Structure formats: structure tokens, C-alpha cells
Amino acid sequence: MGSTSAENHGTEGVGRRDLIKRSAALGLISVPTMSFLSACASSGGDDSGDKAKAGKKTAKNPLAVNDTAGMEFVLFDGGFGKEYAEDAVKIYEKNFPKATVKFSATQKIQSTLQPRFNQGTPPDLIDNSGAEQMDMGVLVGKNQLTDLTPLLDAPSYDDPAKKVRDTLRPGIVEMGQFDGEKVWILYYAYTVYGVWYSQKALDSLDEQYPETWDQMLAVCAKAKKKGMAGWTYAGKYPYYIPFSLYPMIGKVGGREVLDAIDNLEPNAWKHPAVKACFEAYYELYKKGYVLKGTPGLDHIQSQTAWAEGKALFIPNGSWVENESANVIPKDFDLAVSAPTGLDSSDKMPFGTIWASGGEPFIVPAKAKNAPGGMEQLRIMLSEASSKNFTSKVKSLTAYNGGTDGIPLTPGLKSGVAALEKAGENVVNPRLQDWYVQLQKEKIGVSGLGEMMAGRLTPAEAINKIQGFADEAAKDDSIKHYKHQ
């Protein structure tokens, strides 16, 4: 759900994830497992007396929540609103009538909660999001978060035969991991990235969405004849281009090409698939299929020009439907597709798409009632709570389903169809989570932005970007990650 600031973008309101990314870029420490030891050490004594005693583990209470213990939940008050969370809290209160739940929503997560972390009195569940997001890397590095594996291994709310982890969309569990198996974050929202367009405009050209690059060029040529550009994008923030370019690279060369890029491997950017995809995009510029003036447009201006029918395609995330609601015409028939590939030699099928989690929920290590915080999340990951979120905020959740019987908006309906078509062919490049400056400023602005403006050739852009990646790989002040 984008805000008006481009800095707040990358998943459902990426601002929300920006600080995680920044912290990842700034460096995390590998986390010892026994976080309670460090909790004791840092508080100068045994603070286990503050914790609620465990309750009785039953089929209905698999996390052994103490049914009389209080539970505190602090939500980021952003684009998704707070109603969906308040509704889930009511279910918790109904299930544990003797417990008192304290729920609050704020935009000032860090200034409200950092002092409480420092005092060892944090809430039990936090939606750590927004411009004032606490630095996730620091929280993990200082052992201040609870490992959510017990929640993931608990029976799901709707079906005791299925674990919570088995009900989640692809990539959600992995996104919550930093090093190793432990899961520190549960991303609740789910973003679909891809190429967004008006089905009405495509129909007016008597065209289908192009599956090969020759078809893409043909569609753009037809659009140009009718006075419409093929493409526009956020020229001032060209890190939007990867929302369709990265999954195209994965489609052409296979997932391992994206993994090598994420892992900062030498010459990862010099892979033939990268070269082919850069050359394909550059062809859009060379043939005059990019809306004139695009390099000077920000995300709102490019989305507005696109909504006004000045360009057919735009790379974006599923927040675009909500963010552009005031400029998208009623009969626009908004749609998203997985990126166009090169040809039949591509390693992955047409439909390969980038989709990943947003809106990070955490349970602090020193929470008085960590089982209660996890139980609240288990409730939110039920089909009913997921449907409630989706119908209220036009976005998918981490729960894999929860759309049956809900009247879906055009973009959301198209996003669901794109995910169904993708099946297992969902990619999740981690560069924008792990190396924010590299991804945004260097690859985005200095590399892709310059190439799409015609100031670098694809070969020059690749050399430049590989140089940036090599610098990041050698920089000991940056925490480095590897795909597990």
C-alpha cells in the first residue's frame, strides 16, 4: 500500500521495509540461540519473574497461552488501517475471556517502543512498520526478538492437521530468517510485483499480453502508432524497474542467476541472461517506446501518466491500485502480468513472477506473554481474519488463500490470477532486503536509470553494476548474506 513518498516503497508500502533493509545493509550480528541468557545479563538480574506462567496446552490452545495473562499488541497505524487488527483482537478476547488485551496503534513505532525495549518492558506483539520502524538488524543482533518457530510449527487455526507454516504463501518463512533456521519476523501482507496495465487499453489495440520479447516490441509499436507509449516507470526512483526486470532475469536464466546476484558472487551480473534482459529493456528506449520525459518523473507522476493512458505498461507492486485509486478511471480494468520473457529457450515458464511479504510482525524476547503474542498472530493467519484483511484493504495476506467469496477489486483479482498461474514459479530476489543502498542508489539510479535514459549502453551498465556489487562484497562493514 504505497504512501506518497517513493522512499516508502518496495512492498506493501515499502517504507515499512526500508528500515529492515537499511539495517540489513548496515550489518547484523549472528545471533546466539539462548536469548534469555542475554536478556538476564542485560537487565542485571533474573527477569523471568515478569513472564506470564505457561498455560495448559490443549488442542484449542496449542501454544499453551496462560488464559488469565494480559496481552499487549501495538500496531503500525498506516495504509492498512487498524480495523483488521482490532477484529482479530476481539477473537483473542472471546477465546481467552479472563485475559485483558491492551491494543494500540501508532505511527511512531520507534519513539514509542524503543525506550520500552531498553527497559525490558516491550509489548507482546508489534507490527514494526512505517517511517519510524525500529531497526530489525539491531533487534535481531541484540537478541531482542523471539524465535517464531513454535508458532510456525503449531496447528493452523482452521485445520489442526496442518501446521501454520503449511498455510503460508511462498517465501514468507524464508523472509523472516536472517542467518540459519530461526524465524524472527512474520510478514503479514503479500505483494505481487510485475507489469501493470489497462486491459481496456490492451483490448483497444486488439492485443493479448505479450509472452515473448518480439511480441512485446510488436505491441509497443502498435501502441506508438496510436499515440501511446509502450512503457513508463518511476524515472527518479529507477529501483522500480527491477519489479519486472529481476523476475524476467530469473525466467530467462533460472533462479540460480538471481541467487548469485543476491549472494554478490563475482561476475553474477555478467551472466548471459542478465545481458539479454538488459538489452531487451534498452531496446524499448532505442525504439522510442518509453514515454518521453520518463527519466524526470517520480512514482506518482509516472503512475498518473500511465493511468491517463499515455503509456501502456508500468513496472510496479500491488500497492499501485490503492495508491493510484484517485487517478485510475472507473473503466480502466487494471491488470498485472508476470514479465514477458525472451523466447521459448527461457529456463522458467511464462507466468514466473516476483511476489513477497510486507508488514513485519515481531514478538519481543522480553515480552511478558510471548505465547499470547504468537497466538494473536495464529488467529490473524486464519482464513476468516485473512479474508477480513483482504476485503478491507485490497491486499493479500501471507495466508495462502482467503479470497473465496470476497468481491475482489480488478487489480487484486488479477494479482490472485497471476499467482495461481505462477504456481511454484514465484521468485523473491533479496537484494532490496539485504543491500538497500546497493539496490536503490547504485543498481537503480546509477545503473538502470542511466541505461534507460540512454546515457549508458547495456554493457556499460552491467560493468558498472558488477563493480558496485564487488565493492559491496568486499566491504566488511556490511553484513553479507547467502541463500540457504
pLDDT for 8 beyond 60: no
33, with CB counted inside 10 A (0-12, 13-18, 19+), is: exposed
Domain with residues 192-354+430-474, CATH architecture = 3-Layer(aba) Sandwich (3.40)
406-453 pLDDT per residue, tens:
888 999 999 999 999 999 999 999 888 778 789 888 999 999 999 999
Once rounded to an integer, what is the mean pLDDT over residues 247-261? 98
Please state at what angle helix 242-253 crosses helix 272-286, rounded to 10 degrees.
Answer: 130
Contacts of 119 (CB under 8 A, 6+ apart): none
Identical fold, 6-190+356-416 and 192-354+430-474: yes
What is the rounded radius of gyration, in angstroms, for the C-alpha atoms of the chain? 23
For residues 196 and 39, the model is more confident at: 196
The candidate with the shortest Cα–Cα distance to 232, out of 135, 137, 355, 314, is: 314
Please, what sign has the CA dihedral across residues 232, 233, 236, 238?
Answer: negative
Give 142-158 as a 3 state SS string: CCCECCCHHHHHCECCC
Q: pLDDT: is 10 or 114 the higher one? A: 114
Q: Predicted confidence band at 49 (pLDDT cuts at 50, 70, 90)?
A: low
The C-alpha cell that represents 239 in the structure block:
529501483
Here the cell at position 33 is 540461540
Domain ranges of the chain: 6-190+356-416, 192-354+430-474
Q: What is the pTM of this model?
A: 0.77
Could you tell me which CATH number the domain at 6-190+356-416 has?
3.40.190.10
pLDDT digits (tens, 9 = 90+) for 318-357: 888 888 889 999 999 999 999 999 999 999 999 999 999 8
